[in-house]
Amino acid sequence: MATMHSLMAAVAPAAWSSDYVQTVVSLEGSPDGRYEISEEDGSVRVISATDSPAELAGPADHVLDSLSGRGPQLRELLSGPPAQREKLALLRAVAT
């Protein structure tokens, strides 16, 4: 639940400008492994994504720290499309 909450918080700044994050993130070492981030009717949702292929991937503990402003930049931790990583990194820019 904490992982999903962290991802939900991370995508909020992009959603404020209606630039929604829509991706699947694989977080190695997390309880569910993969998480689907999507938008429906202006609402953001994060769910466990057991069958969906991941677009972004990285180590859960370091990625979650980075999302909240600690440790290395997200671009150093997550593999995948830069545009999706940048949207996830907005919270760090706003919070730090």
pLDDT per position as a tens digit, 22-71? 999 999 999 999 999 999 988 999 999 878 899 999 999 999 999 989 99
Instruction: State the pLDDT at residue 25.
Output: 97
For the domain spanning 2-95, the CATH number is 3.30.1050
- Which sequence spans correspond to the domains of the chain? 2-95
CA distances for 38 relative to 9, 11, 48, 73, 96, angstroms: 13, 10, 11, 23, 25
Question: How does residue 93 score in pLDDT terms, banded at 50, 70 and 90?
Answer: confident
**CB 24 within 8 Å of CB 58:** no
pTM for the whole structure: 0.90
